[in-house]
Amino acid sequence: MKTYLLRILTAVIISLIAVPLIDAQTIWEKDQFKVEMLNKNILISSNGKQLVDIASINFNFTQPKSIEVAGKTSDKLSLKLTYPSTASYRTVATDVVADVEITAVNNGIRIFSNPDWARNITIQMKDNGEHYFGISEQLYPNNIKAPDLRGDVIDVDVLGDDNQFHENYSSAWSAFYMTDKGYASFFDTFAKGRYQFAINGVTELYHHTGKLDWYLFTGNNGDKILQAYYDIIGKPKFVPLWACGPVAWRDQNNGGKDEILADIEHMTELKIPFTGWFVDRPYSNGADEWSKMDFNNKFSDPGTWIKTINEKYGMQFMTWVGPMTFADKDFTGLLPNFKGYIDLTNPKAVKEFGERLKKNQYAYNVRGHKMDRADEQFPEMSNWYDGTPEPERRNKYIYLYSKYINKFLTESFGEDQFNFARAAYQRCQPNLSALWGGDSRSTWDGMAGNLANAMRCGFIGFPVWGSDVGGYLGGRISEKLYARWLEFGSWSGLFEVKLDNAGGKGEDRPPWKYSERLQNIFRNACDWRMQILPYVYSYANTSHKNGVMMKPLAYAFPEDENTFNVWNEYLFGDAFLVAPIVDSTDAREIYLPEGEWINFNNLGEVLKGGQTIKVDMPLDKIPVYIKRNSIYVTGSLLKGNSKNWIKSGNENLSVHIYPGDKGEQFTFSYVDYNDGNKEKSFEVRNEDGKILISLEAIKINCKTEIFSAKKPVALELNGHVVKYGWDKEKNIITIKLAAGKENKIEIRY
């Protein structure tokens, strides 16, 4: 044993002599970023904090023999990486070279190389104890709900055909992840890949491409990181107000247009508000009652009944679409596959796709689409018109689908249109209004899995997400599950409710087939959604700077290790912590991060953060907490079918303000629907115990409701002492304000 240990010690000493340890050498600096070399490792830091330690950049699975600084300017560092001739798939006798350029971008670093001899790229980094979040909406690889990917191996590929092995058939993917160390990684490619996180001391990123186009973004939370990300991929798509309200549908409308109109009328009789509706397949002529992309006899005279939906009920109408014609081959530019997928790189095919939708649907004011089926049984081995290589096809197809559907809709309706999809990949954000979380099971596990899907989706930067409320794979569900899912849905980015079973079979689940209690819960969820439309609309359309609408706790509080495995609660915007109940117990534990939190259901209860609490919640309520140092807005901006029971007039907003502690301030960006969607700034700050509030002028009457634990000594509005209301039980000060005027409020204690 002693001899064995001596041999090991000798080997260690020899290895240390053979590879002497030296201090890292700074080779380039730009703004807050520094690049250093340590032996052949490349170290990148920001503001003195190391981001990554790159052990090797391998092309074609081969490590470089040497790394040299080839040149540098104030804006760019050029490196020369030399590889043995065996790294090239071509027959060469000499070593091959990859020129690598490192440049600074907004809050980030870009590393780029594109050697013509390379077909594969692998980045190997030293594990520095990071926790990793993102890559896949799917609960991949093992249906684990916790979002932390440390120790996991994830395929970066839209694996629609593999969804049967995972909960909810979710299909959003991205070569993007965040960490708890203040940085995120983005590999800008459609090529499939595989990421190994912190396995045997190494994190490894692989893509089946020879083009290295890799970004590292910095930020102290997910919002800051996504600002830099969106600067590269483009600003997320605008979302119209009507699409922010409640939306409903059936998987099959066997009764055609009459059933759709009857459903809407029944909702109206029950005074349950909706702003949108859509029809799923089948509704067309042709193969699988879709390929002609028109309306069949059950839906005849679409101009008349869609106009009724628009005018009588104040709602917009959408349809299901798919990028295939199934067995119908009467279409230019189909890929050779039994599903008849459209080659979206073939200009003639794209033109035909757009013309069918414009002639058969947009002419009747179809304002949007549920985009389906781009991720399953996909013919990735078929040659494409533009020669896209096979490793890029699955992911690129998802992007092209969103790009062209958005193009078709924009050409007809400008920004007043909406498209949402099950499948998505990076760079879809500028072309896709929202995601829905896959074909979820109509069970408690299905709902819980969907909530976990939403958190993973938030980490990859898709701003608006929603689920099929009630689940997709199942018919009638219990009232308790229905109530809890409705409550979760009303606090989601997209709120859409499914009224029947998959395939239209079995007993359906419209609210009138349940008890009066469930109908009231259904109504209350939709009423609340209508009230919070200004908030949802504002966040959906400022996501380029304010991040995703449903923010995972580790996204918002990356320095709090207690958040890393939290999958069942989230920030809704910046004002609310939402903790849906996803089982039948009516009770759950809730982790409150740092700060102070006010119980939304009991404004008199203020809780300190940094603790876990347990709550019991009646069926008609959902646990929600308001964050101190935040602002949210409610009010009547749109009526939908409620125009049939609510008279117009006296519309106003309520600006709810929750001041922070001394020295804290918060700014809310209000998107003014009544003033050309201009962004208006609402700001609150606590300055030495004085509360100072500034509200830019908006085109509607409003009132402020300001949280105050005690009655003020004085309150001034625009420099004048004014009367105000104070509810000492709810700790709320109320002040009425006039439209069209900037207002400044000062509260002294």
- Averaged pLDDT, 147-159: 94
**Cα gap 464→550, rounded to integer Å:** 8
Per DSSP, 62 falls in state B
**pLDDT exceeds 80 at position 467:** yes
| pLDDT of amino acid 20 | 42
**pLDDT exceeds 50 at position 482:** yes
Point out the least confidently predicted range of 62-66, 324-328, 449-453, 548-552: 324-328
Per DSSP, 258 falls in state H
Point out the least confidently predicted range of 13-22, 114-123, 501-510, 636-645: 13-22
Q: How far apart are the first and last CA of the chain?
A: 76
**pLDDT exceeds 70 at position 208:** yes
**pLDDT exceeds 80 at position 712:** yes
| pLDDT of amino acid 36 | 98
How deeply is 677 buried, as exposed, middle or buried, from its count of CB atoms within 10 A (0-12, 13-18, 19+)? middle
Domains of the chain (ranges, CATH numbers): 26-233 (2.60.40.1760), 241-546 (3.20.20.80), 649-748 (2.60.40.1180)
Report CA-CA distances (Å) from 217 to 44, 181, 184, 207, 222. Answer: 11, 11, 5, 19, 10
Write the pLDDT tens digit of every residue in 359-379.
Answer: 999 999 999 999 999 988 788
- Averaged pLDDT, 323-344: 91
126: enclosing H helix or E strand: strand 121-126
- Averaged pLDDT, 200-222: 98
pLDDT confidence of 328, banded at 50, 70, 90?
A: very high
- Averaged pLDDT, 302-313: 98
- Averaged pLDDT, 493-514: 92
**Cα gap 488→525, rounded to integer Å:** 9
| pLDDT of amino acid 15 | 40
- Averaged pLDDT, 448-465: 98
pLDDT confidence of 23, banded at 50, 70, 90?
A: confident
| pLDDT of amino acid 378 | 80
Write the pLDDT tens digit of every residue in 408-445.
Answer: 999 999 999 999 999 999 999 999 999 999 999 999 99
How deeply is 221 buried, as exposed, middle or buried, from its count of CB atoms within 10 A (0-12, 13-18, 19+)? middle
Write the pLDDT tens digit of every residue in 722-734.
Answer: 988 899 999 999 9
State both tokens at 308: 């009724």
Task: Estimate to the nearest angstrom the gap between the alpha carbon of 202 and the chain centroid.
Answer: 28
| pLDDT of amino acid 725 | 87
- Averaged pLDDT, 554-569: 98
| pLDDT of amino acid 420 | 98
Torsion of the alpha carbons at 641, 643, 646 and 652, rounded to the nearest 10: 110
Report CA-CA distances (Å) from 399 to 210, 237, 406. Answer: 21, 14, 11
Write the pLDDT tens digit of every residue in 637-688.
Answer: 999 999 999 988 777 899 999 999 999 999 999 999 999 999 999 999 999 8
How deeply is 308 buried, as exposed, middle or buried, from its count of CB atoms within 10 A (0-12, 13-18, 19+)? middle
pLDDT confidence of 216, banded at 50, 70, 90?
A: very high
| pLDDT of amino acid 205 | 98
| pLDDT of amino acid 475 | 86
**pLDDT exceeds 60 at position 130:** yes
* Cα-Cα-Cα-Cα dihedral sign, residues 624, 625, 630, 635: positive
| pLDDT of amino acid 465 | 98
Three-state secondary structure of 619-673: CCCCCEEEECCEEEEEECCCCHHHHHCCCCCCCEEEEEEECCCCCCEEEEEEEEH
- Averaged pLDDT, 73-93: 93
> What pTM, to 2 d.p., does this model score?
0.95
Write the pLDDT tens digit of every residue in 564-595.
Answer: 999 999 999 999 999 999 999 999 999 999 99
For the chain, the average pLDDT equals 94
- Averaged pLDDT, 209-238: 98
Write the pLDDT tens digit of every residue in 468-478.
Answer: 999 999 889 99
pLDDT confidence of 92, banded at 50, 70, 90?
A: confident
